[in-house]
Amino acid sequence: MGLEHALGDSFLTTKLDDAINWCRKNSLWPMPMGISCCAIEMMAFAGPRFDVSRFGSEVFRFSPRQSDVMIVAGTTTYKMAKVVRKIYDQMPDPKWVIAMGACTSSGGMYRTYSVVQGIDRFLPVDIYVAGCPPRPDNLIHALITLQQKVQRGESKGSFPSYVGDPKLNQPQPLPVKAG
Amino acid sequence: MDNGFVLEKLKARFGEGSIESSVFRDELTVVLPKEIIVEVCRFLKEESQLEFDLLADLCGIDMYTPVKRFGVIYNLYSLKNKHRLRLKTFVEEEDPKLPTVTTVWGTANWHERETYDMFGVVFEGHPDLRRVYMPDEFEYFPLRKDFPLMGIPGSIPLPKK
Amino acid sequence: MDTRTEEVSRKSKILQALEDQNTSVTFDDPLENDMILNMGPQHPATHGVLRLLIRLDGETVIGCVPEVGYLHRGYEKLAENCTYHEFIPHTDRLDYLSPLNNNTAYALAVEKLLGIEAPPRAQYIRVMISELARISSHLMFLGSLAMDVGALTVWMWAFREREKEYDLFENIAGARFTTSYTRIGGLAQDVTPQTLAMVKKFIDEFPGYLEECERLLNKNRIFIGRTDGIGIISKEKAMDLGLTGPGLRACGVGHDLRRANPYLVYKDLDFAIPVYEGGDTLARYYVRMDEMKESAKIVQQVLEKMPAGEVHALKPKKVLPRKERVYTKMEELIHDFMLVNFGVAPPVGEIYSAVEAPKGELGFYIYSHGEGSPWRLKIRSPSFVNLQSLTTMMMGAMISDVVAIIGSLDPVMGEADK
C-alpha cells in the first residue's frame, strides 16, 4: 500500500538482472557449516541481540539444497574437508561462500599436520572475515558486503552465465568505505 | 589413606624388586614392568581398602631414548577414598605391544585407541583397535618425536578445487 | 447380439489369460532387516562435528558407533612446540562454551608443576569466572536441549542471558568469548569495582530469568514425555565407562571435584552438590538446572568475601613481572626477556591436575623435561570420555530420541577432538 502511494500510477523500468539480483540479495538463506568456536558466534549472530533475520537471512537452512550462501565457521581439518566439499557441491547455483574466522581464511593459529591452511585450497571463497572469533557485528558487515557483491552479480563459485552479465565477472576492486 | 599406604600394599602383593616409585608434588608414580600391568590394575580396583575404580586418563609418551622408547601412563582415581595414583610402563620401539586393560575398566577402550593412533602402541586383546582421530588410511603416528609438526605433505588427500 | 457375445468371450479370455499368469512375487519382510543410518558430521543437532553410525531395526536403535576426529587440530603436538604461556590461548578453544574455566584449569596445572600459588584475590576472581563460565555453558545446554526437542523460545531466552554474560566477560577480560584471561601465577589484569557491580546486578537478576525458562519446561507434558526415561545408564556402567560431571551425578553418585579434592578457595564456600537418581535425560536436565542456581550462590558469596590485594604472585623467575617494573628495573627486564623467549623452566617431573569443568573432569597431565615447553602435555577432556557412553545410552531408544540423548550428554567437539 505504501509503495503504490509513494510511486503513484506509474511504472518502474530497470534491468531484469538488477531486479533479480535485488531479490536475491535481500533473501540470502545461509547454510551454516558450524564446525567449532566460530559456530557459537554465528549462533549469536542469529540470536536475539544481533538479529540477522532483519537482513533477509530469516532461516538457517541446514539442508544444502535449499540455501544460497554457505558460512564455513570453524577450523577445517583434512578429514572434514571432504565433507565440506561434498556439501558445497550439493548447493544449487548461484552460490556464495563466506569464510568466517582466521582458521578458514588461512589456518589460523593451527599450523599443524591435520588442519587445512585455508579453505580456499579446495573451495572458491567470496568473502573472508577476520577475527578469532569474529564478533557478530563483523559477520553482519560481511553479509552486507556480500549483498553488495550479489547486487553486482558476481559469484566466484557459480557458473557465470546464471549470474548476470559475464562481462561483470571480471575482478573489480571493492569500494573501501570507512566505518 | 596416603601414598605410603598404597605403596606398602603394592609391594606386599607384588614384591619389592619389580616396583620403582617416586613422589613429586605429593603425587606417587609407580613404574612397573609390562607383564604384570593387568594384574596390578585388577588388584588396585578390587582390593577393599584401595578401590581405584576410575581410570581418569591413559596416555602415551615418547621418551626418544634408544631403549624403552614409549611409555604408557595410567592415572587412577579412587572415588571413595578421593586419592590419585599414577602407574607407568615402558615398551620398546621394535615391539610396542602391551596387554589391554579394557577388561578392568571399560573406559580404557577409546583411550587405548587414541594411544595407538598417536604413537603406534598396539594393545593386545583390545576389542576394536583402530584409529580414532586421524583418517583410517593415515600411515604415520603423529605424536612421535620424529614426525614434523607441519605434517608430511600429501599424507592426507584434499578434494580438488 | 453377436458382437455382445464376442465381447463377453473376449473379456473372459483376457480374464482367463490374467488368471493363468503367475504374477506372485515373494518379498522379504522389510521390517525384519537392519538398516544402517549415517547421522553425518554435518547435522544441525549433533552439537558440532560428530558422526554417528546407527544400526536401526525399524525405528529402534540396536547399535551405535560414534566417530570423532573431524576437528582434530593437533593440540598436544602444538604444546610441545610452544612455551607454557603461549599455550594459554589454545586452552580457550578446547571447551569453547566455557573458555574461562579451561584457562583456570591450565593455570592451576602449571602452577602445581612449578610449586607456586596465586595470591588470594586472584583465587577468588578465578572462582568467580569459573562459575560464570559454568553458568554460560549450562545455558547453552538448556537452549540446545530445548531447541532439539522443539521448544525454540527457550533457546532465544538462553541466548539473551548469554549475551549479558558476554558483556561481563568483555569488561573483565577484554574479549567476549575467547578470553585467555588467566596467567601463570595470577591473572592478566585486575577487575574494577564497576565490573564487580555489573556482576552483582547480573547475578541478582539471574535466578528470576532462570525461573521463567523453568516455568516453560518443567511441567510441560511434551518436554517430559520426550525426556523422561530416555537414555538411561546405570550407576555401575557409568563408573565403569568413566562418565564424570553432571552425567554421573544424575545416576546417583555424588562426586564433584570441588568437594572431593578442593582447589582454589572452594573449601571456604558454602554450596550444595545436586544429585538425582534415574540416570535418564530428565535427571541430567535437573542436575544442570540446579547447578546453575548453586553457581549463582557461589558467585554471590565470592563477591562478598573478595579480599583486596595483588593479582600476580611475586616469584620473579617464574611469573611474568608487571610492566611498570619491566620498564624501570633491570632484573625485571631480564626476567621478562627470559620468560617470554624461553619460557618458565619448571623442574623435571610430572603432574596430573584436574578441575571440575561444566562437562566433567578436565585434567592436564604435564611431563616436564626442565625446559620452557612441556615434553608431553595430555589433555583429559571430559567430552571424549563421555561420548563412549553414548552407545549404552542409545540401546533400545527410538530414532527420534537420539537427538535428545546427545543433547543431554552435551558433548563439545572442540574438546573431544583436541
> What pLDDT sits at residue A161?
43
Whether A122 sits inside 8 A of B148 (CB atoms) is: no
Cβ separation B133–A114 shorter than 8 A = yes
Looking only at the bridges linking them, the beta strands covering B27-31 and B83-91 are parallel
Which residues of chain B neighbour A82 with C-beta distances below 8 Å?
159
Half-sphere exposure of C376 (CA within 13 A, CB side): 23
**Strands of chain A, DSSP E:** 30-34, 69-73, 96-100, 127-129
Q: Kindly report, residue by residue over A52-81, the tens digit of the pLDDT.
A: 888 888 888 788 898 889 999 989 998 889
A176 pLDDT band, cuts 50/70/90, is low
User: How many domains is chain A built from?
Assistant: 1
CATH code of the domain containing B21: 3.30.460.80
Q: Do the Cβ atoms of C121 and C309 come closer than 8 Å? A: yes
Contacts of B132 in chain A (CB under 8 A): none
Query: How far B121 CA lies from chain C's nearest CA (Å)?
Result: 16
B81 found inside a domain: yes
| Chain A residue numbers touching C169 (CB-CB < 8 A) | none
- The dihedral through the CA atoms of C166, C167, C171, C175 has a sign that is positive
Q: Which residues of A touch C177 (CB under 8 A)?
A: 37, 40-41, 133
Whether B115 maps to a domain, the answer reads: yes
Does residue C355 form part of some domain? Answer: yes
Q: Cα(C248)–Cα(C385) distance, rounded to whole angstroms? A: 12
Q: What pLDDT band is residue A129 in, cutting at 50, 70 and 90?
A: very high
**CA separation for the pair B12, B6 (Å, rounded):** 10
Q: What are phi and psi of B71, to 5 degrees?
A: -115, 150
Domain for residue B157, yes or no?
Answer: no
First to last CA, chain A: 35
In a domain, A145, yes or no: yes
In a domain, B94, yes or no: yes
CB A78 within 8 Å of CB A8: no
Residue C236, C-alpha cell as written in the block: 555401575
Residue C28 lies in a domain: no
Q: Is C340 part of any domain?
A: yes
Classify residue C122 by its DSSP letter: H
User: Phi and psi of C8, rounded to 5°?
Assistant: -60, -45
CATH number, domain containing residue C342: 1.10.645.10
d(Cα A113, Cα C75) in Å, to the nearest integer? 10
CB C149 within 8 A of CB C407: yes
C135 lies in some domain = yes
Decide if B83 is inside a domain.
yes
CB contact (8 A) between residue C363 and residue B57: yes
B interface with C, Cβ–Cβ < 8 A, is 24-25, 27, 29, 53-57, 59, 61-62, 73, 75, 79, 82, 84, 86, 105-107, 109-111, 114, 118, 131-135, 142-143, 147, 149
**Taking the mean position of all CA atoms in its chain, how far away is CA A79?**
23
Q: Could you tell me which residues come within 8 angstroms of residue C309 by beta carbon, excluding any fewer than 6 positions away? A: C119, C120, C121
Other Cβ atoms within 10 Å of B86 Cβ, number: 22
Q: C319 is in which domain, residue-wise?
A: 73-387
- Tell me, rounded to whole angstroms, the distance of Cα C35 from its chain centroid: 31
Tens of pLDDT, residue by residue, chain B (161 residues): 788 888 888 888 887 777 888 888 888 898 988 888 888 888 888 888 888 888 998 989 998 888 888 999 999 998 888 888 899 999 988 888 899 999 988 899 999 999 999 998 999 888 888 889 988 888 888 888 888 888 888 778 787 77
Written as nine digits, the cell of C108 is 592451576
Q: Phi, psi (5° rounding) for residue C304?
A: -75, -35
Using one digit for the tens of pLDDT, what is the confidence trace for C351-374? 999 999 999 999 999 999 888 889
Residue B9 amino acid letter: K
- Residue C19 covered by a domain: no
DSSP helix/strand/coil, B152: coil
Q: Cβ atoms within 10 A of the Cβ of C157, count?
A: 20
Radius of gyration of chain A (CA): 17
The grid coordinates of residue A21 equal 539480483
Q: Tell me the three state secondary structure of residue B83.
A: strand
d(CA A121, CA A24): 27
**Domain assignment of residue A27, yes or no:** no
Look up the domain containing B13 and give its range.
Answer: 3-124
Predicted confidence (pLDDT) per residue in A143-174, tens digit = 999 999 888 887 777 665 444 555 555 565 56
Cα(C357)–Cα(C127) distance, integer angstroms: 12
Q: What is the pLDDT of residue C14?
A: 63
Residue A144 in domain: yes
Rg, C-alpha atoms of chain B: 18
The distance of A79 to chain B (nearest Cα, Å) reads 6
C411 within some domain: no
Residue pair C114/C346 in contact (Cβ under 8 Å)? The answer is yes
Between chain A and chain C, the number of residue pairs with CB atoms below 8 A apart is: 84
Residue A77 lies in a domain: yes
CA distance C113 to chain A (A): 26
In-domain check, residue C9: no
Question: Least CB-CB distance to A110: which of C41, C70, C74?
Answer: C74
Please check whether residue A70 lies inside any domain of the structure: yes
C229-253 b/e (C-beta count within 10 Å ≥ 16 → b): ebbbbeeebbbbbbbbbbbbbbbeb
What's the helix, strand, coil split of chain A in %, to 5? 40, 10, 45
Burial class (CB in 10 A: 0-12, 13-18, 19+), C327: exposed
Contact criterion met (CB below 8 Å) for C184 and C344: yes
Instruction: Give a yes or no: residue B104 inside a domain.
Output: yes
> Which mean pLDDT values do the consecutive 10-residue runs of chain C (418 residues) have?
58 66 62 80 78 87 89 90 89 89 92 89 92 92 88 89 91 87 87 91 92 88 88 89 90 89 88 89 92 92 88 78 80 83 85 92 91 90 91 88 88 87
How far is it, in rounded angstroms, from Cα C61 to Cα C402? 9
Rounded to whole angstroms, the Cα distance separating A78 from C318 reads 38
CA distance B133 to C194: 45
Does any CB of chain C come closer than 8 Å to the CB of residue A104?
Answer: no
Strand ranges in C100-259 using DSSP code E only, listed in sequence order: 182-183, 186-187
**Whether B160 contacts chain A with CB within 8 A:** yes
According to DSSP, the β-strands at C60-67 and C182-183 are unpaired
CATH (domain of A148):
3.40.50.12280
Note whether A35 contacts C90, CB cutoff 8 Å: no
Provide the domain count of chain B. Answer: 1
Contact indicator for B80, B104 with CB cutoff of 8 Å = no
| Position B100 in a domain | yes
Is B132 near chain A, with CB under 8 Å? no
Q: How many domains is chain C partitioned into structurally? A: 1
- Write the single-letter amino acid at C200: K
| Residue C412 resides in a domain | no
A163: in domain: no
**In chain B, what is the straight-line distance between the N-terminal and C-terminal CA atoms, in Å?**
62
pLDDT at residue A179 above 70? Answer: no
Determine if residue C287 is left, alpha or beta; phi over 0 gives left, psi from -120 to 50 gives alpha, anything else beta. Answer: alpha
Using the Cβ of B158 and the Cβ atoms of chain A, whether some distance falls under 8 Å is answered with: yes
Query: How far is the C-alpha of B131 from the C-alpha of B81, rounded, in Å?
Result: 35
Is residue C311 within 8 A of residue C172, CB to CB? The reply is no
- Cα of first residue to Cα of last residue in chain C, in angstroms, is 89
Which class for A55: exposed (0-12), middle (13-18), buried (19 or more C-beta within 10 A)? middle
Domain residue limits at A63: 33-154
Q: Which residue of chain B has the CA closest to C259?
A: B82
